[in-house]
Amino acid sequence: MVISMIYIVTAMYAEAHPIITHFRLKKEMIRSPFQVFSDREAGVCLLISGTGMTAAAVAVSSVCTRYGAGAAEEEDFLLNIGVCGWLSHSGARPRRDSSQTGQLFLCNKILEQTTGRTFYPDILYRHPFREAPIVTGARVYEKTDQRDAQETDALLYDMEASSVYQAGACFLGPHQMSFLKTVSDDGDVRNVTPERIEQLIGENMDPLTDYIEALQAISREESRDPVSERAVQKAWEKLCPDLHCSRTMSESIRQHLRYCVLAGVDFAPVLEEMYRKGTLPCRNKREGKQRFEELKKRLL
C-alpha cells in the first residue's frame, strides 16, 4: 500500500497545536531550525516555519528536500494552514468587516505584494469551503493602512502563502498544493493572541481533517479499483496529446480523472460528447488549456 505524505505548513505553534493533537503527531528529533511533527504511518508531516516570507520559503524547501517530497509523482500534497487578516477597504465596503472572523477560506489566487506576481493553486477537488484570493505581504497588515487593501482585489492577507507556493512548486505541481486560511482579524491585531489563534484553528478542525482525509483517499493505492485505474490510464493517454499537455498539466489531468472515479463522477460520456462535437482534439496548447478548464467545470 502506498500512502501519500500530507505536508502541512503552519507559521506558528498556536496554529499547529490543534492539528498535532488531532493526528497525535510526534516531534521529529532532527537537527533543524524548524520544528517538525509527524506520523509516518498516517502519512502526515507538519512543519512550523515561523512567520514571514523568507522563513516560509526556507522552511518549505528544507523539509521538502529532507523528506523527498514529490519523489512519488502525484502522491504528495502540501497544505498551508493558518490564520489571516480580512482586508478593510475604505469607501464602499462589500461586507469587508470583522464579522468574517473565524471563517475558513480556500485560497483560489495568491498575490505577492512585493513583486506583483500572481499564483493560482489548481483546485481539482470538491470541497465545502468558501473561496477567496489572498495577498501575501512582508509586514503585518494594520487596519489603519488602507493602501494595501486598495491596490488588490484580494479579500485575505497573510505573510507566507506566496512563499510557500513558490518553494512548494519546486517539488510539487499546482494541483498538489492547497491554502486554507481562517480569518483572525480585520487589521486590529490587539486581541490576536496565541490562545485566540489556537481557538480559531480548533473550531475549524472538522472541515480541515475531512479535507486532509479526502486527499489521502485520493492517493491511497489500495482504493483504486484496477478496472477504474485502467479506464483512467486509457483516458489520460488519449487526452494528453489531444490537449497538447505540458508535464504539469498532464499530471493535473491524471489526478483529476482519479478524483472523478473516487467521487463517482463518470467522465466518459463528457469526453465522448466533446470528441463528437469536435472540441477535442485541440489544435494547440492554448486551446488545450481552454478545453481542460471546460472539462473541469463540467465534471465538478
Q: Give the Å distances, CA to CA, from 156 to 41, 71, 93, 141, 293.
A: 34, 32, 14, 10, 25
pLDDT in tens, 116-172: 999 999 887 778 899 999 999 999 887 766 555 545 677 899 999 999 999 999 999
For the chain, the helix, strand and coil percentages under 3-state DSSP, each to the nearest 5: 45, 20, 35
Q: Does the pLDDT value for residue 64 go beyond 80?
A: yes
pLDDT in tens, 262-284: 667 888 899 999 999 999 999 99
Q: Does the pLDDT value for residue 5 go beyond 50?
A: yes
Contact assessment for residue 111 and residue 152, using Cβ atoms and an 8 Å cutoff: yes
Q: What percentage of the chain reaches a pLDDT higher than 90?
A: 55
Q: Does the pLDDT value for residue 222 go beyond 50?
A: no
Q: Is 133 left (phi over 0), alpha (psi -120 to 50) or beta?
A: beta
Q: Give the Å distances, CA to CA, from 68 to 20, 73, 139.
A: 21, 11, 31
Grid cell, residue 298, equals 463540467
Contact assessment for residue 136 and residue 159, using Cβ atoms and an 8 Å cutoff: yes
Which pLDDT value is given to residue 95? 47
pLDDT in tens, 96-119: 444 689 999 999 999 999 999 999
Which pLDDT value is given to residue 262? 67
In residues, how long is the chain? 300
What is the model's pTM?
0.76
Cis amide bond preceding 281, omega within 30? yes
Which pLDDT value is given to residue 1? 32
pLDDT in tens, 68-106: 998 765 578 999 999 999 986 543 344 444 468 999 999
- Domains, the chain, with CATH or none: 6-221 (3.40.50.1580), 225-299 (no CATH)
Question: What residues pair up with 177 in beta bridges, in sequence order?
Answer: 78
Report how far residue 232's alpha carbon sits from residue 227's, in angstroms, rounded to the nearest whole number. Answer: 9
Round the average pLDDT of the chain to a whole number and report it: 86
Burial (CB count <10 Å: 0-12, 13-18, 19+), residue 181: buried
Which pLDDT value is given to residue 265? 81
Q: Does the pLDDT value for residue 258 go beyond 80?
A: no
Contact assessment for residue 62 and residue 171, using Cβ atoms and an 8 Å cutoff: no
Pairing of strands 6-10, 44-48: parallel
SS3 state at 180: strand
Which pLDDT value is given to residue 195? 97
Q: Give the Å distances, CA to CA, from 261 to 97, 220, 233.
A: 40, 13, 12
